[in-house]
Chains A and B, each alone.
Chain A
């Protein structure tokens, strides 16, 4: 445990790992949904503390990685316009579109800015009334309240020069798409604690019941992850499949009701394309009619976007958990964090970047038995309803 310098924490981590070893009598495949969790698992070597048979399958939980190429191309087109100040989280700067990325648009004279929060972008719109300020609203349920609040404030203040390029994806439908696929081999799920801090976990008991899979709400820190894994293994070994909360210091069953009300006021559910996976029904949010005037796609009417993915890149298979990053022939060769071919290499939360940065591609163990966990979950597999 590289990052657990404190003795007490290291001791707890070791004890949790021992308990998992004692519990596990069979191999199990456990999906972690959140890209931040993937990152933390790899960075802290948690996968290597687990018994041989317990395999962590990395899910599609990085919102940067699943943002459709078409939307990135639209972002690039909008950002290049003279009247626009294009604001984004730093994670999006190097995500490759068909021709270039936001950072290159900035190099070419586009006014691209990095902000901490969409609310800061609203302030920019107030201060620059002669410019159009656009925020690239990428994220899961975690960033959604801030995005929703930004348009609500923009409407209250009557701002005509603020809009949101919406790329909001929802986690539970993506989990369901994986579980319902005929090729699914995931037996237990770590639900993303930070998403649940907003949404609660009332959506999960029916999923756990329907697919007979334990779902444990889990945090991001090493001890949280080990505890989440321990609880999933305990349920699996006992033949149980319940929704359980291993992150109660932050997550309640209901979540933040006020935030959920705000989300329901601003957004409505829509079908959504996930880059590399395909369309997942009812897995995204778009602005409701009452807020549609703040939709950057409507405001700028970008036409003629033609997208071309790199033929080498297998990030779709990586996102579905069908292959590990090291199985991609381009991994570490044509594709590195410096020259990313796909979004899973660009984002610091992407599985390819996590594997690259922590040298996991050198480990034969990581390669063994990792293939085809979810193979067969193709675009049709994900989208069939």
Chain B
């Protein structure tokens, strides 16, 4: 939840006076508030906390960060949809030991 994830702004629309947008995080698209990054437009990259964009970043660092987060598994964790999160919580995959050595006895 604490992780700031960079993504690409694909769409901007003003909803009830609030600047909202669709942001693409390496293929996963989320609804994001863009009110506090007035300088960012469609095609720009921004880092986002819990659906709230905080600052613009450049494309290259976005790409690197997303690739690394994906490898570390944190991208999945942060952006997973509700069902996936619930399934994880149910303990099916909850030993969450990447190499499977510790099954959580």
Contacts and interface: CB of A to CB of B under 8 A. Distances in A.
Q: Do A and B bind each other?
A: yes
Interface of A: 3-5, 34-36, 39-40, 43-44, 61-64, 89-91, 93-94, 103, 106, 113-120, 138-140, 142-143, 145-147, 149, 153, 156-157, 192, 194, 197-198, 220-222, 249-250, 252, 256, 258-259, 262, 336-339, 348-349, 353, 356-357, 359
Closest CB pairs A-B (n = 4): A117-B51, A90-B85, A338-B104, A146-B52
B94 A338 contact: yes
25 contacts: A3-B72, A36-B74, A62-B2, A93-B85, A93-B86, A113-B82, A116-B79, A117-B30, A117-B31, A118-B50, A119-B31, A120-B31, A146-B50, A147-B50, A157-B16, A197-B4, A197-B47, A249-B58, A256-B37, A258-B36, A336-B102, A339-B104, A356-B102, A357-B98, A359-B101
Contacts of B4: 142, 194, 197, 250
Contact of A114 (B49, B65, B85): B85
Contacts of B57: 249-250
Contacts of B1: 63-64, 89-91, 138-139, 142-143, 349
Interface in B22-50: 30-33, 35-38, 47, 49-50
B52 A249 contact: no
Nearest to A197: B54
Interface in B76-97: 77, 79-80, 82, 85-86, 88-91, 94-97
Contacts of B82: 113-115
Interface of B: 1-4, 16-18, 20, 30-33, 35-38, 47, 49-52, 54-55, 57-58, 61, 65, 68, 71-72, 74, 77, 79-80, 82, 85-86, 88-91, 94-98, 101-102, 104-105
Given A117-B30, A120-B31, A103 B71 contact: no
Contact of B47 (A89, A250, A353): A250
Contact of A116 (B18, B30, B36, B72): B30
A83 to B, nearest CB: 21
A42 to B, nearest CB: 11
A149 B85 contact: no
A36 B51 contact: no
Contact of B51 (A94, A120, A353): A120
Contact of A146 (B16, B33, B79, B89): B33
A143 B48 CA distance: 10
Given A115-B82, A336-B95, A348-B96, 13 more contacts: A44-B72, A62-B2, A89-B1, A93-B89, A113-B82, A119-B52, A194-B4, A194-B49, A250-B47, A250-B55, A258-B35, A258-B38, A262-B35
B2 A63 contact: yes
A194 B74 CA distance: 15
B55 A117 contact: no
Given A117-B31, A249-B58, A357-B97, A143 B49 contact: yes
Contacts of B91: 338
Contacts of A36: 2-3, 74
B76 to A, nearest CB: 11
A6 B50 CA distance: 29
Contacts of B58: 249
B89 A103 contact: yes
Contacts of A252: 55
B2 A139 contact: yes
